[in-house]
Amino acid sequence: ACTNASVMVWARDPQTAQHINEQHRNPRYLQDIPLPATLAATDQPEQAFAFLQDAASSLIILGTPVAAIGQACDLLLRYLPPANLQTTPILWTCKGFEQESARLPHEVVQDRLAKIIPYTGVLSGPSFAREVAQGLPVALTVASSHECVTSRATAALHAGNTRIYRSRDVVGVEVGGAMKNVIAIACGIADGLALGMNARAALITRGLAEMSRFGLALGGEPTTFSGLTGLGDLVLTATGDLSRNRQVGVALGQGQDLASILSSGMTAEGVRCAQAALTRARGLKIDMPITEAVCAVLFDGVPPLDAVSRLLSRESRSE
């Protein structure tokens, strides 16, 4: 979707890789969208990394959910050629907190790669995969503490209908990406209950306040939360029907139970990370009423309307 650069996809499923090479479509995701002729796939990590011949101009993007980011790092450590270790930037796209450890993706990556692979960063922002694959306009942020990472990512991805903005605020960008999913579930619940557009606007605005409070406490910068990866992605996910997190919320609001909603195997990172985010926020003494309400509905069997009543019955406060 970005440039005419050659792209090699590593897929863990050999049949998926074969199908991509032969049919130029992904049989599992967005099957209706033809893939560019410059994109090839393999299930062999050695073959994927051998593709990175020009270490100076290559870029690796880890496109897995948060739950697999540690495994993806292990794969890099095992198979990335020595020439690439100190030169090729690694970006990830996942949005959330790790379920068991409540760590942000960069904390997982740092733990695994820091001493061996220095150049890492996060790619985030409002970007439904379907629209990106269709080549529609999109603006994203790449954040890293290394300028060489943001400039390489910009050189590789900023083209045509794709705009790349640069940031140094990895924490703020990751907190925005994680929390917008949780708030999108809350907005979906409100819409599933037909509570109206005023309620949705209130949840987005107070959700942004919640995201910002939490993000600042974790070390993010204030302006990041009004940017693409904060407000931008929050508005997209909370209001756009392509959002899987929003879809989960709508179904809950309409009375379906969580197990049946997730039975298709759909990825909804907000479900996976809401409890971890809450645990981490409590440790920092940050008040997160909307996240608490979402967790109560997801995990404690609280009926959606009761969770809304709890939110509404909170004491009045200054904005």
Ligand X SMILES: NC(=O)C1=CN([C@@H]2O[C@H](COP(=O)(O)OP(=O)(O)OC[C@H]3O[C@@H](n4cnc5c(N)ncnc54)[C@H](OP(=O)(O)O)[C@@H]3O)[C@@H](O)[C@H]2O)C=CC1
Ligand Y SMILES: O=C(CO)COP(=O)(O)O
Q: Which of 233, 280, 288, 304 is the binder for ligand Y (CB under 6 A)?
A: 233
Residue number with CB closer to ligand Y (119 or 121)? 121
| Angstrom distance (rounded) from CA 157 to CA 288 | 35
Mark the segment that binds ligand Y (CB under 6 A) among 31-39, 140-148, 237-245, 256-264: 237-245
Q: Please tell me which residue in 180, 246, 272, 280 is annotated as part of the active site.
A: 180
Q: Which of 41, 66, 189, 281 is the binder for ligand X (CB under 6 A)?
A: 66
Alpha carbon of residue 126 to chain centroid: 9
Question: What distance separates the 2 farthest-apart alpha carbons in the chain?
Answer: 61
Tokens of 69: 């980011």
CB of 181 to ligand X, least distance (A): 7
12 annotated among ligand-binding-site residues: yes
Q: How far is CA 180 from CA 122, 165, 210, 273, in A?
A: 16, 19, 10, 11
- Of 63, 64, 66, the closest CA to residue 273 belongs to 66
Q: Which of 63, 118, 135, 289 is the binder for ligand X (CB under 6 A)?
A: 63
The answer to whether 147 and 195 have CB atoms below 8 angstroms apart is no
For ligand X, the binding residues in 76-105 under the rule CB under 6 A are: 93-96
Q: Which of 145, 154, 239, 267 is the binder for ligand X (CB under 6 A)?
A: 267
180 is catalytic: yes
Assess 112 for contact with ligand X (CB under 6 A).
no
The answer to whether 297 and 252 have CB atoms below 8 angstroms apart is yes
CB of 184 to ligand Y, least distance (A): 6
Q: Which of 51, 79, 128, 165 is the binder for ligand Y (CB under 6 A)?
A: 128
- Of 107, 163, 156, 106, the closest CA to residue 132 belongs to 163
The answer to whether 227 and 221 have CB atoms below 8 angstroms apart is no
For ligand X, the binding residues in 131-190 under the rule CB under 6 A are: none
Determine the angle formed by the axes of helices 289-299 and 304-312, rounding to 10 degrees. Answer: 160
Element (H, E) at 141: strand 138-143
For ligand Y, the binding residues in 85-104 under the rule CB under 6 A are: 95
The answer to whether 258 and 298 have CB atoms below 8 angstroms apart is yes
| Catalytic positions | 180
| Annotation: binding site for substrate | 95, 244-245
| Annotation: binding site for NAD(+) | 129, 244
Interface ranges with ligand X (CB under 6 A): 12-13, 28-29, 63-66, 68, 71, 93-96, 127-129, 267, 269
Interface ranges with ligand Y (CB under 6 A): 95, 126-128, 181, 184, 233, 236-237, 243-245, 269
